[in-house]
């Protein structure tokens, strides 16, 4: 699975530029956006949402612990 670093190398842009394009932030030229998008398509990159949530410290998930349902009478 390709990484953002792979995309940056293929598109000949910085890792920060790839991040800005993926997150729709920053001031990135249309030419660089197209280069990044072309590299994403060529390499088959898929953004890992769970990795982003973990980096931010928020997974928007909760855990539920239940007893063995068969033992409940």
pLDDT at residue 33, as a whole number: 97
pLDDT at 62: 79
Rounded Cα gap, residues 31 and 45, in angstroms: 19
pLDDT of residue 66: 74
Q: What is the pLDDT of residue 8?
A: 98
Where is 52: in which H helix or E strand? helix 49-56
What domains sit in the chain, N to C, each tagged with a CATH number? 4-71 (1.10.260.40)
pLDDT in tens, the chain (73 residues): 899 999 999 999 999 999 999 989 989 999 999 999 999 999 999 887 666 666 666 666 778 887 777 766 6
Contact 35, 41 (CB under 8 A): no
């Amino acid at each position: 699975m390709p990484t953002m670093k792979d995309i940056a190398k293929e598109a000949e842009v910085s890792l920060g530029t790839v991040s800005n394009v993926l997150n729709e932030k920053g001031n990135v030229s249309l030419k660089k956006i197209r280069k990044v998008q072309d590299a994403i398509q060529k390499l088959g990159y898929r953004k890992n949402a769970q990795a982003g949530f973990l980096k931010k410290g928020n997974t928007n998930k909760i855990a539920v612990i239940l007893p063995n349902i068969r033992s409940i009478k």
